[in-house]
Structure 1
Amino acid sequence: MPNMLPSQPCPCGRQAGKRALVYAQCCGRYLDHFDTAPAPDAEFLMRSRYTAFVLGRADYLLATWHAGHRPPSIEFDSGVKWLGLEVRSHRRIDDTNAEVQFVARQKNPGSPAVRLHERSRFVREEGRWYYVDGDLY
């Protein structure tokens, strides 16, 4: 899986104005400092989870998956190339529940690119947001 330099553009594609945020100022602060820097909302968590998929960071994905829905492990398909993320909407339902709709694109070797379109549900417990589950479109 790829390594990320702090100064490289963040894989999640978040921008400040017309400039892409760099990894250290975007998802890197959550992935690299999970114990002390929780994602502030469901959208940031979803973006950082996308970045964790790009980087093959199963530790972060499992830690940010709600315990009631967390799989025992995560396997990554070798050769998958993540092509981009588009956040369609972020809706905070109340203080402890939120939804994020997104489209993530990926390409498997020898196959055409595919789009993963999901409405994800998140819950906040003890000051941390966790991914619960999602509905695919």
Structure 2
Amino acid sequence: MTEEPQTAEALMRSRFDAFKSGDSAWLLRTWHPSTRPEDLDLSDNPRWRGLQVLDTVEGRPDDTTGIVEFRASYIAAGELRILQERSRFVREDGRWYYVDGDVR
């Protein structure tokens, strides 16, 4: 990723792409330091298929916080599964970060 995402939704979409491609460096770089893990092992990462944004609250270029609710489909153990999460984002020093989320 060369350009910083300008909205919380754009960051969430870039993180989904990073999960799909196994780009743990981007995931860690865009994870807020207060909740970021030391490292991220994606060796058992499922095969991510699709993404659907269900809701956004704030998260625009001039906001400081944002929420994005999404549904992501993936294949694990030969079965199609769905992950639904309501994710929280914060913008600091002009950059958006993923903070955490509630899986539904």
Question: What's the TM-score, normalizing by structure 2?
Answer: 0.91
Which segments of 5 or more consecutive residues in structure 1 lack a partner in the other structure? 1-30
CA offsets, 1:96-137, max 9 Å, x none?
1100000001112x3422111000000000000000000011
SS in 2 for 1:47: helix
- The yes-or-no answer on 1:69 pairing with 2:35 is yes
* Equivalent in 54, 72, 95 of residue 104 of structure 1: 72
Aligned equivalent of 1:85 = 51
In terms of fraction of residues, the more strand-rich structure is 2
State the Cα distance separating 1:74 from its structure 2 match: 0.9
In the TM superposition, structure 1's runs of 4+ consecutive aligned residues that sit over 4 Å from their partners are none
CA contact (8 A) 2:66 2:90 kept: yes
Question: What's the TM-score, normalizing by structure 1?
Answer: 0.70
Which segments of 5 or more consecutive residues in structure 2 lack a partner in the other structure? none
Aligned equivalent of 1:60 = 26
Select the structure of larger CA radius of gyration.
Answer: 1
